[in-house]
Structure 1
């Protein structure tokens, strides 16, 4: 499966297991979603459980919060992460606080799926990476898969979770791995190779990182698309780097991070979102607090720039092999 198919399979499995799981959003029904992630689900489960909504992100999430409080497990889709801001009040003021405000009487077991990040020349309104905004909010969980296998297992865990989860899907790797080199825009989202994914039910616990490459020289912390780009850069540079795929940033697997950095003595953080107040800043602080006396070089960040996401210059904004490779060589120069 590629990631689109894995996401679709996760929803299919959960809808078959639990009649309380419903899918909702703009064009998710008959059309199957703008990236076809919900294709076939309405035909299989009917219009009462897979239904289209008006173009109102605030309304979509507000209704989902009410559904969750009532006992359902809604999986609303926000068509692009850039469109999620009108729903911010519902997510922050209602979904994130419902359990606490009701002293545990009500919960908001909703999983908000949304494609995010660049790679398709979507520009300022289809390419943003807003994960750090939600990581700041107590009561929300934020999950970002990097492989089809992880996407399915993490999405199943998110749907079963009794608290609200933001499930951001990196659209640049929807159709397969990406090495960071521009290869032209992909228009065929359904026939590219992905990875081995079981057809049935399985879970990947939220908050557990995955070491995708073991190494001795430096720890690279990444998630989503950047995991694949970093893997390619390590091959190109020959640096013996350990790559830790966080998989979720809230909760973050600080134990795995600490263990890796104490082993390598160096840490580089890579994400696509803007540098200032990006989640890399929090990771850097955590590493400094817990691993200071083990560090042999300053913690390094490679990120997007502090600008609106460009359209024609997307590949310059995207942290790619050149910038990541230079940062790797710089952090290793005194080794």
Structure 2
């Protein structure tokens, strides 16, 4: 714990010099401010708790953010289903998250991991200090596809508790400490805004790899062992006919089961319907083409049409929802390195 406490101390010293997002005794103001940078939250004082002081500081990147929170009184935080992953590292006090009917208590030395699709139902203890990493699920999926050679499926669900003392959680804490130390040096590349993209890239890659290693059986890396044979037949059919117009009837025929059975099977294994899987599969293929073309004479609509996306506005919307960026942004980033 001495190593981790030292890292946390360096992080906190620097966070105190970070941009102040809000400092208030007004819970309504706290909630409204946090809702401008995160998904909609509901914040309440715990029973019989007096009004307290609440402080939040923030280090924003282009697609993710680090936050520092200091709450003098106990509060309860709730939300709808998240479209992001949230990792909370308490450095004083602690918190409890209710998940699947169980209370998960997290104290300094561990971190709480809230997966996309989960709801916040958190009880922050009195005098709790914590730092948080917040990354949209579309960004995690984009990194999964681009850097881990991921396919159309990535179940962004992780073990709810990550040890900061053991690898890989220790690795994340050390990286964050290094980032914060450099942020505290006005002459560093990070402080001067020169290396922020590279820092964010490393942070998300380390985070994603660490979360996968912490609970690999819940990710797409280990899904093969739980796929029924009829789903394997469907996946093979999709790969062999990837540029064709595939319908639900086609998939059910290949699977040899009813459309309802196929739907339930995909929901159980992947958490999405069969046709959503097909759309994801094709979008991943389009992204690969956009990232690897060696010419600057690119007509995105023509490429999308080859994979069955004939409505440009629908294609662009679905692409951005999945990857967190427009197709043109993918092309522009590729052209920048040609």
TM-score (norm 1): 0.25
Computing the radius of gyration over CA atoms, which structure comes out larger, 1 or 2?
Answer: 2
- Structure with higher helix content: 2
- Greater length-normalized contact order (CA 8 Å, ≥ 6 residues apart): 1
TM-score (norm 2): 0.25
